[in-house]
Amino acid sequence: MKQGAKKIEPKKPVQEPARELVANRETLKRIFIMRESDSSRATLVKYMEQILFGLHEFLMHHVGITEERSLVELSRRFMDSAINPEPEKRLAEVIAELIDEIAPYAVNVSSPYFVGHMTSAIPFFMVHLSTFVAALNQNVVKIETSKVVSMVEKQVLAKIHRMIYKRSQKFYNRHIQSAYTSLGGFVEGGTQANLTALWVARNRLLAPKSGFAGVEQSGMAQAYNAYGISRCIVLVSQLGHYSLRKSGGVLGIGSDNVISVPTDADNRIDMACLKKIIACLEKDEPAARIMAIVGIAGTTETGTVDPLNELADLCHEKAIHFHVDAAWGGPALFSEKYADLLSGIERADSVTIDGHKQFYMPMSCGMVYFKEPKAMDAIAYHAAYVNRPGSVDLGIRSLAGSRAANSLILHGALKIMGKRGYALLIDHGIETAAAFAELISERPDFQLMTRPELNILTYRYCPAQLQKRLSTATPAERMRANQFLNRANTLLQRHQREAGKSFVSRTTLRRPESEGGPAVVLRSVIMNPMTHPGILNEILDEQESLCKTRLKSAFAVDLSSS
Ligand SMILES: *Cc1c(COP(=O)(O)O)cnc(C)c1O
């Protein structure tokens, strides 16, 4: 074990009479029936303690990210594919094994030094609320397996809808518990939210009409035929999430028809380019139909927000479905200081928000919202034994069938945190990212590549001398130097990750050839409230030291060599 990492001894469970490890009716009964005696209750509590504190202590003492161990070696431990005929272990042993053998080699995403991805520490109460969801085990596909929980879900959906769309009190009174309308839905994550939004957009565009039963029923070939359409197109900036292309594939429009629009110098969709693309389509391919335009509120790679109002104007003028992918940025609406960054989101026909991102919920939870309460009728399904017309069954308008009551977690979290609690998290992320950008700018050997708008930024290591020479280099020299830098920064990210003390991620930004072509950059996402500028400075120190020692030759770029 690495220095500083304390091995956590699993707490000894309360002594129970030793029982044989066998599967029979007696043992089955014991695991399905709540323990009756005081001592057996105490045992169950101890097990929970082990998870809550055994694991927590491990994470606390183990400030690093993960134990250094190769993936090949780890995979060798999991080669046995036979299921034991008889029980192998007791719960206490399984928990101890998970803490000892699995947790150290998993990734400590709670560490304030883990600033590379959109996954981070979650508030402690989330574990309790998750346990409650598992214990109650409701299935919100239908009222008959969830009853009041479906109503809680509708209430939570209305609360977030209201945060986005700010409709009237009367509007929410009418729709909050209506069996005939849906303000949105809980889904698996941002991917499924985007898919659901585009599914609705597709079915509304290729709706039933006289002589045609609609695309959902009759399929794409007949739909294109009925409407005289050559293809359907989705337009999104080149920083769009790849789930949109997946949706293009699943929905049958083809992932190639999810078209990337270039971005401007601030990483926002280039409106002039977008308008030009639309004009060209109208002129050269009048049978092509734009199914949706997507604005991004917080791109995955740079955290930037598209000009939502301008996009809304354009979509309104052309009668095109306007979807906003706010999987990441949505909760910025909680912040009094920064909600304006998302101005225009209230004009979207549909909005994606991820629960497991900036709502700090445990994996996995996403949501999709619709401005119009009837929009989701376009994807409604009924079955004889559930989801009957006119019932409140949430499964009627949902891609998923059986589904966990994750809304209960958000229901609790909103009460515990309040708007202000979430706003504090958002403000901290945005302001710490701005401070990080300053720290990077102050170091001559680093280059800030994208300035943070929300709480994501990108940068790279590029020795000061090289930066200076690049400013007067020829385009060819710039291209060559950039290739070196790309390789060297790739190595830098890998070395730091493998050392296991801290973590930033890496991505490749598209850039014109005049600037040296695609750039490999280090990407940092600041969402852990325990991450502060001191920690970020340490991360830069570690990177700088790696570059000046182990990676010295990788960064020795000679511009003149051919
Ligand atoms: C994370 C993300 C998604 C995908 O969400 P998942 O929960 O990973 O499926 C989509 N869009 C954006 C902008 C995201 O940041």
Write out the DSSP string of 382-425. Answer: --SSS--TTS--GGGG-S-SS---THHHHHHHHHHHHHHHHHHH
HSE at residue 200, side-chain half, CA atoms within 13 A, is 30
The reply to whether 359 falls in a domain is yes
Q: What is the mean pLDDT of residues 402-409?
A: 97
Q: Is the CB of 241 under 6 A from ligand 1?
A: yes
Check whether 131 has a pLDDT greater than 50. yes
Domain check: are 499 and 447 in the same one? yes
Find the 422 Cα to ligand 1 centroid distance in Å.
Answer: 19
Q: Is the CB of 243 under 6 A from ligand 1?
A: yes
The reply to whether 127 falls in a domain is no
The reply to whether 128 falls in a domain is no
Rg (CA), the chain: 26
Side chain identity at residue 501, one-letter code:
K
List, as own/partner pairs, every contact residues 277-280 make where C-beta atoms lie below 8 angstroms and the sequence separation is at least 24, other chains included: 277/235, 278/235, 278/314, 278/318
Q: Closest residue (by CA) to atom 6 of ligand 1?
A: 190
- State the residue range of the domain holding 72: 25-108
Q: Is the CB of 191 under 6 A from ligand 1?
A: yes
Q: Output the CA torsion 37→43→48→51 (10° steps).
A: -170
Check whether 103 has a pLDDT greater than 90. no
Q: What is the mean pLDDT of residues 1-6?
A: 42
SS3 percent helix, strand, coil of the chain, rounded to 5, is 45, 10, 40
- Supply the pLDDT for residue 67: 79
Domain check: are 482 and 380 in the same one? no
Pocket test for ligand 1, best of 192, 354, 507 (most atoms within 8 A of CB): 354
Check whether 5 has a pLDDT greater than 60. no
The residues with which 401 forms a beta bridge, in sequence order, are none
- Supply the pLDDT for residue 43: 81
Are 521 and 508 in contact by the 8 Å Cβ rule? The answer is yes
Check whether 263 has a pLDDT greater than 80. yes
In which band, very low, low, confident or very high, does the pLDDT at 6 lie, cut at 50, 70 and 90?
Answer: very low
Asked which of 373, 403, 433 is the last residue of a domain, the reply is: 403
Element holding 521 (H helix, E strand): strand 519-525
What tens digit of pLDDT does each residue of 472-486 get? 999 999 999 999 999
In which band, very low, low, confident or very high, does the pLDDT at 2 lie, cut at 50, 70 and 90?
Answer: very low
What tens digit of pLDDT does each residue of 135-177 get? 999 999 999 999 999 999 999 999 999 999 999 999 999 999 9
Q: What is the mean pLDDT of residues 33-60?
A: 77
Which tokens sit at 129?
Answer: 């609320």
Q: Which of 63, 104, 3 is nearest to 539 (CA)?
A: 63
Q: How do strand 456-461 and strand 446-450 relate by DSSP bridges?
A: antiparallel
In which band, very low, low, confident or very high, does the pLDDT at 562 lie, cut at 50, 70 and 90?
Answer: very low
Cα 381 from Cα 254, distance rounded (Å): 24
What percent of the chain has a predicted confidence (pLDDT) above 70? 93
Domain check: are 78 and 169 in the same one? no
- Supply the pLDDT for residue 290: 98
Domain check: are 264 and 374 in the same one? yes
Q: What is the mean pLDDT of residues 18-46?
A: 79
Find the 241 Cα to ligand 1 centroid distance in Å.
Answer: 7
Which tokens sit at 248?
Answer: 């293009």
The reply to whether 411 falls in a domain is no
Note the Cα 469 to chain centre separation in Å.
39
| Least confident range of 64-73, 110-119, 281-290 | 64-73
Element holding 296 (H helix, E strand): strand 288-296
- Supply the pLDDT for residue 4: 42
HSE at residue 59, side-chain half, CA atoms within 13 A, is 21
Q: Tell me which of 364 and 30 has the higher pLDDT.
A: 364
Contacts of 138 (CB under 8 A, 6+ apart): 145, 146, 149, 404, 405
Q: Is the CB of 118 under 6 A from ligand 1?
A: yes
CATH of the domain at 488: 3.90.1150.10
Site of tokens 């001398």: 465
Q: Is the peptide bond before 364 cis (omega within 30 degrees of 0)?
A: yes
Q: What is the pTM of this model?
A: 0.93
CATH of the domain at 381: 3.40.640.10
Pocket test for ligand 1, best of 258, 328, 507 (most atoms within 8 A of CB): 328
The reply to whether 123 falls in a domain is no
Q: Closest residue (by CA) to atom 4 of ligand 1?
A: 190
Check whether 8 has a pLDDT greater than 60. no
Domain check: are 212 and 262 in the same one? yes
Q: Is the CB of 333 under 6 A from ligand 1?
A: no
The reply to whether 129 falls in a domain is no
Asked which of 372, 403, 434 is the last residue of a domain, the reply is: 403
Pocket test for ligand 1, best of 241, 350, 456 (most atoms within 8 A of CB): 241
Helix (H, G, I), strand (E, B) or coil at 549: coil
- How confident is the prediction for the chain on average, in pLDDT? 92
Based on the structure, what is the number of domains in the chain? 3
Distance (Å) of CA 76 to CA 79, 104, 328, 413: 6, 16, 36, 40
Q: Is the CB of 354 under 6 A from ligand 1?
A: yes
Site of tokens 């003028």: 317
The reply to whether 561 falls in a domain is no
Q: What is the 3-state secondary structure (H, E, C) of 443-484?
A: CCCEEEEECCCCCEEEEEECCHHHHHHHCCCCHHHHHHHHHH
Q: What is the mean pLDDT of residues 528-550?
A: 96
The reply to whether 415 falls in a domain is no
Cα 272 from Cα 264, distance rounded (Å): 10
Q: What is the mean pLDDT of residues 315-328?
A: 98
Are 511 and 517 in contact by the 8 Å Cβ rule? The answer is yes
Q: Which atom of ligand 1 is nearest to the CA of 297?
A: 13
Q: How do strand 505-509 and strand 350-354 relate by DSSP bridges?
A: unpaired
- Supply the pLDDT for residue 17: 54
Q: Tell me which of 47 and 539 has the higher pLDDT.
A: 539
Note the Cα 499 to chain centre separation in Å.
26
Domain check: are 250 and 304 in the same one? yes
Contacts of 330 (CB under 8 A, 6+ apart): 164, 297, 298, 342, 345, 351, 352, 353, 354, 358
Q: What is the mean pLDDT of residues 100-115?
A: 90
Question: If you count them, how many residues does the chain have?
Answer: 562
Domain check: are 347 and 388 in the same one? yes
Q: Which of 530, 543, 510 is nearest to 301 (CA)?
A: 510
Domain check: are 93 and 142 in the same one? no
Find the 297 Cα to ligand 1 centroid distance in Å.
Answer: 11
- Supply the pLDDT for residue 18: 60
Q: Is the CB of 301 under 6 A from ligand 1?
A: no
Domain check: are 240 and 352 in the same one? yes
Q: Is the CB of 190 under 6 A from ligand 1?
A: yes
What tens digit of pLDDT does each residue of 238-258 get? 999 999 999 999 999 999 999
- Supply the pLDDT for residue 34: 64
Domain check: are 395 and 434 in the same one? no
Helix (H, G, I), strand (E, B) or coil at 96: helix
DSSP character at residue 146? T
In which band, very low, low, confident or very high, does the pLDDT at 1 lie, cut at 50, 70 and 90?
Answer: very low
Cα 437 from Cα 383, distance rounded (Å): 54
Q: From edge to edge, which strands make up the β-sheet containing 456-461?
A: 446-450, 456-461, 519-525, 505-509
DSSP character at residue 13? P
Q: How do strand 366-370 and strand 184-187 relate by DSSP bridges?
A: antiparallel
Domain check: are 82 and 190 in the same one? no
Q: Is the CB of 278 under 6 A from ligand 1?
A: no
Check whether 211 has a pLDDT greater than 80. yes
Find the 221 Cα to ligand 1 centroid distance in Å.
Answer: 30
- Supply the pLDDT for residue 27: 82
Q: Is the CB of 247 under 6 A from ligand 1?
A: no
Check whether 38 has a pLDDT greater than 60. yes
Q: What is the mean pLDDT of residues 282-291?
A: 98
Check whether 469 has a pLDDT greater than 60. yes
Q: Which of 393, 422, 404, 395 is nearest to 159 (CA)?
A: 422
What tens digit of pLDDT does each residue of 479-521 get? 999 999 999 999 999 999 988 899 999 999 998 888 889 999 9
Q: What is the mean pLDDT of residues 96-109?
A: 88
Domain check: are 203 and 80 in the same one? no
- Supply the pLDDT for residue 62: 61
Burial group, residue 324, by CB count within 10 angstroms (0-12, 13-18, 19+): buried
Category of 295 on φ-ψ map: left (φ > 0), alpha (ψ -120 to 50) or beta: beta
Check whether 7 has a pLDDT greater than 60. no
